[in-house]
Amino acid sequence: MSAYSALEARFRKRSILGGASAMLGWDNAVIMPDGGAEERAEQLAVLGVMGHEMMVDPAIADFLDAAETEELDAWQQANVAEMRRQWRHATALDADLVEALSKATSRCEMIWRRARADNDFAALGPSLEEVISLTRQGGQAKAAAFGTSCYAALLDEYEPGCTEAEIDRLFRDLEAFLPPFLSAVLEKQAAGPGFSRPGGPFAEDTQKAVGLDLMKALGFDFNRGRLDTSHHPFTGGIPDDVRLTTRYEADDFTQSLMGTLHETGHALYEQNLPRQWRHQPVGAARGMALHESQSLLVEMQLSRSPAFLSYVIPKLQKAFGGTGPDWEFENLMRLYHHVEPGFIRVDADEVTYPLHVILRYRLEKALLSGDLPLGELPGAWNDGMKELLGVTPPDDRLGCLQDIHWPGGAIGYFPTYTMGALAAAQFYNAAEQAIGTLPEQVERGEFTALTDWLRTKVHEVGSSRSTNQILEAATGQPLGTEAFKAHLKRRYLTE
């Protein structure tokens, strides 16, 4: 057996083990009883240590060195490069830290659920402090191995190869553009006709049926996945068992609909990853910026477009028995295009959303460095919301307790949301140019041309190229802000 073949076998086993961890974590978050949380935390920790031990086996280093001298095709070379990157992340940590961090994040997530519901930041403090401390230790160890900053080392776990300098460049541009643009949009809205929100209640079963219908139309394979309900919409699982969730509000069907469409974008990426490279690093999604680009392309670029609304509004009218002015196209388009600074990131419109992300980027870097003591987080959060969005949360439930990411140890993740929005604008613009009649097809409920384009240009590429290489091949440009800004101007100031 060649060194490369030995690596493929090792990483296949680890991928299957990681899939088991993913599914157990999904059950923990959605359908398993709270009383079993501690035991599941132990199980996840054991699986995490097992996976870590497989990666740090001294034989892996020898196999990597030998494989890099073999004659390999382009996919195999990319696979070895991804193996090397993952190996470097793993060998930077010792097993005790891996186990401690797994247990700490599992416990903290469960405490966060209660603390958020009770608006009790103090109850979360000790467990979150532990998670941040352990994450800092891991980041520092990886920084030493990669020769980067602590934050950059953590960022590489979610967006390989990305640097703080790149994020700072993109975010500086957005910080300069968004506040005056937001003011212009709010002024235009105030001068124009308002909108009325259709009155509920809207039965959960009906909302779910509409969501399932749209998932099917977009190409989601229900033989390899399912939709469930959770406090926070998300997608998890493995490519042949993709689990996505949404949440339902009795008086507002738009939240569940857009949440379902967002997660469907993630799910399509997972289901369409290159099957011949399943269980290999090169067969996984490239990174979270591209993953978020696929969800935001579906939710923002596609599903709020006039063409899509022309297709979906008759379905909504029929499903909910909607009649009258509230259900007319122009009113519902104003509803879906309404811009308003708010407290909750996941409910934010696409104009204000990046400002939520910029705030979290600032705060998580300060928490990680120790410049921001955890006890001062609520105040710093509220100050940042006032500065960037002009609003101040009335309590921590609507402020620093709203997201699960930090309790789950996902520090370095937030920038990928806005990077994904930028990439989504570039992809959708390129797809429109390539297809030619995309708006007409969408209005008829025909999505095959779009999903085929995305599958070819993004999904089936897996991790065989970098994010910017994938973007440049598909759109002609590396990641930037121009397509996103042009999209916002067109939709909110000219349409």
Instruction: Tell me the C-alpha to C-alpha distance, in Å, between residue 230 and each of 31, 251, 258, 373.
Output: 9, 17, 15, 31
157, 159, 166, 263: the active-site residue: 263
- Give the H or E element holding residue 253: helix 253-271
Is residue 460 part of the annotated active site? The answer reads no
**Nearest partner of 397 among 30, 113, 106, 104, judged by Cα:** 113
**Nearest partner of 9 among 57, 44, 48, 43, judged by Cα:** 57
How far apart are the C-alpha atoms of 18 and 456, rounded to whole Å? Answer: 26
CB 495 within 8 A of CB 305: no
Instruction: Tell me the C-alpha to C-alpha distance, in Å, between residue 236 and each of 24, 28, 209, 415, 417.
Output: 10, 12, 21, 20, 17
CB 285 within 8 A of CB 265: no
* Interhelix angle 95-118/3-30, nearest 10 degrees: 20
CB 32 within 8 A of CB 40: yes
- Burial of 202 (C-beta count, 10 Å sphere; 0-12/13-18/19+): buried
CB 399 within 8 A of CB 378: yes
How far apart are the C-alpha atoms of 357 and 338, rounded to whole Å? Answer: 19
Torsion of CA 213, 216, 218, 219, to 10 degrees: 180
Active site positions, annotated? 263
